[in-house]
Structure 1
Amino acid sequence: MVVLVALGSFVMTLVGGWAAHHVTDRRHLVLGFAGGLMLGVVGLDLLPEAVEGAGRKVWGVPAALLLFVAGFLTAHVVERLLALRRAAHGAKNPEQVPQVGIGAAAAMVGHSVADGIAIGASFQVGEAIGFTVALAVISHDFADGFNTYTLTRATGNARRKAFAMLGADAVAPVAGAASTLLFTIPGEALACYLGFFGGVLLYIAAAEILPEASHSHPARSTLLCTVAGVALMWLVIGFAGE
């Protein structure tokens, strides 16, 4: 079941890469909706589940919330380091920096492996939270595929390399999800991991997906898609809890 669900990430990543190759004008609506789904999953499902599962506190603060903040900061630090690396190379040659493009795409592949592990770990908690986390991951994999292809091509790499990195990014979440079939994470550790992953997911939504959705098309339709994404997750979580 876990691997079959993760195949949705495989397909959506390839769709994102295909969109980047053909440059579609409706991508902002998909990204706005994906950002809303991710926000809904984090605020309405992951955080409550994590806080409940990792009940102990560290210096007066629930451990899951500390890890949530740590996940957000980790994603921010990684993103800033990549930006500094691109700027450093760009100072020498702003147009063609193939190594930076490959490095950034490789980081996207590593992130996608973690996405797959999150899907598998969530299914260890229960099918309901597993499907909601999978829905959030699959929705933002469109942006992952788009960015992996774009980063590789925009820095001077051949189309063949861009498609190779896109393929690796598509396979990565399936491999990550499959790896969780080999081990079982203890309940409290699982809740803490979900808290950390929630922080990472929120950063991706707030700092990357939603700004990118509104950058070229600051339209009301994009905002409505984001609200619709949150509302859909609320409905999905509500039905799952019945």
Structure 2
Amino acid sequence: MAVLVALGAFLMTLAGGWTAQRVTDRRHLVLGLAGGLMLGVVGLDLLPESLEAAGRKIFGVPAALLLFVAGFLVAHLVERLLAARQAAHGAGEHGHRVPEVGLTAAAAMVGHSVMDGIAIGAAFQVGGGVGLSVALAVIAHDFADGFNTFTITSLYGNARRRAIAMLVADAFAPVVGAASTTFVTIPEQLLGGYLGFFGGALLYLAAAEILPEAHHEHPARSTLLCTVAGVAFIWLVVGLSSG
């Protein structure tokens, strides 16, 4: 049952990526929406879940928050190191996007989608009602995942075929994750730590890369409205799934 439900996430991820491809003439709106979706996923979904799952504190600070900050710093460090290497080879102009950063971010999205599938499978092990509730949340926000995966990969200068390849991998990931729950059970604290770390990295990409790029050439009110709409959509998804 969990694998069949995860096929819905597969289709929604592809739908999100297809949408991102079709609106290339409104790139600033795409980036504004993607930044809002990413901010919403981090602040309203990943971080609360990680705090609840990770639980324990380390020197007075929740472990999930420490990993959240670590994820932000690691994302920043990786981008700086890759940019410095690119510049050392004569290709680093101001504002130049490093393709490896986009691929790394997209790979993290794929890893997150695998965890989404595992969450579906684990919820169905608890009960059918819980499983359907979790599946609804995953399927709804996987549209955002597909949208963001294609957008992030393309934003950093990767070829369209690479962006599509990462999108397809992200689409299959929930199915793989759901299938794996037949054999593997992930400890709750480890899952919470992963969500915190991933959330920090995603926030860095949204705040330091996606949103500034969205407003660079088109500082329009419509771009800001798309960002707010992205956050509001994730809020709606979280509210419906928890209600």
Pair in the same fold by TM > 0.5: yes
**Counterpart check, 1:9 vs 2:13:** yes
Q: CA deviation at 1:219?
A: 0.8
Kept in 2, the 8 Å contact 1:121–1:190? The answer is no
Kept in 2, the 8 Å contact 1:2–1:178? The answer is yes
Kept in 2, the 8 Å contact 1:15–1:142? The answer is no
Corresponding letter in the other structure for 1:127: A
Corresponding letter in the other structure for 1:141: T
Instruction: For structure 2, list consecutive stretches of 5 or more residues without a partner in the other structure.
Output: 124-133
Kept in 1, the 8 Å contact 2:141–2:234? The answer is no
With over 3 angstroms needed to count, the CA separation of the structure-2 counterparts of 1:135 and 1:119, relative to structure 1, is farther
Q: In structure 2, what is the equivalent of residue 211 of structure 1?
A: 212
**Counterpart check, 1:171 vs 2:175:** no
TM-score, normalization: structure 2?
Answer: 0.76
Corresponding letter in the other structure for 2:237: V
Which shifted more, 28-37 or 1-10? 1-10
Q: In structure 2, what is the equivalent of residue 156 of structure 1?
A: none
Kept in 2, the 8 Å contact 1:16–1:146? The answer is no
Q: In structure 2, what is the equivalent of residue 184 of structure 1?
A: 185
Q: What's the Cα RMSD here? A: 2.8
From 134, 151, 154, give the equivalent of 2:142.
134
Which shifted more, 50-59 or 119-128? 119-128
What per-residue deviation string (whole Å, max 9, x for no partner) do you get for residues 133-154 of structure 1? Answer: 5244233124134336xx24xx
With over 3 angstroms needed to count, the CA separation of the structure-2 counterparts of 1:167 and 1:29, relative to structure 1, is closer
Q: In structure 2, what is the equivalent of residue 229 of structure 1?
A: 230
Find the residue that maps to 2:195 and give its secondary structure: helix
With over 3 angstroms needed to count, the CA separation of the structure-2 counterparts of 1:90 and 1:10, relative to structure 1, is farther
Q: CA deviation at 1:210?
A: 0.8
Alignment of 1:94-173 (within 5 A): 103=100, 106-107=103-104, 110-123=107-120, 124=122, 126-127=134-135, 129-131=137-139, 133-147=141-155, 151-152=157-158, 162-173=159-170
What per-residue deviation string (whole Å, max 9, x for no partner) do you get for residues 162-220 of structure 1? Answer: 35423422222134334323233222211121111111221121112111111110111
Identity fraction in percent: 50
Corresponding letter in the other structure for 1:88: A
Kept in 2, the 8 Å contact 1:12–1:138? The answer is yes
Which shifted more, 139-148 or 189-198? 139-148
Corresponding letter in the other structure for 1:119: D
What per-residue deviation string (whole Å, max 9, x for no partner) do you get for residues 21-73 of structure 1? Answer: xxx33121121122112212211222122111211111111111111111111
Kept in 2, the 8 Å contact 1:15–1:145? The answer is no
Q: In structure 1, what is the equivalent of residue 62 of structure 2?
A: 62
Q: CA deviation at 1:105?
A: 6.2
Q: CA deviation at 1:16?
A: 4.1
Which shifted more, 128-137 or 224-233? 128-137
- Which whole-Å CA distance do the structure 2 matches of 1:106 and 1:232 have between them? 26
Kept in 1, the 8 Å contact 2:51–2:64? The answer is yes
- Which whole-Å CA distance do the structure 1 matches of 2:165 and 2:30 have between them? 22
Q: CA deviation at 1:231?
A: 2.0
With over 3 angstroms needed to count, the CA separation of the structure-2 counterparts of 1:66 and 1:229, relative to structure 1, is same
Which shifted more, 54-63 or 75-84? 75-84
- Which whole-Å CA distance do the structure 2 matches of 1:76 and 1:121 have between them? 28
- Which whole-Å CA distance do the structure 1 matches of 2:66 and 2:211 have between them? 24
TM-score, normalization: structure 1?
Answer: 0.77
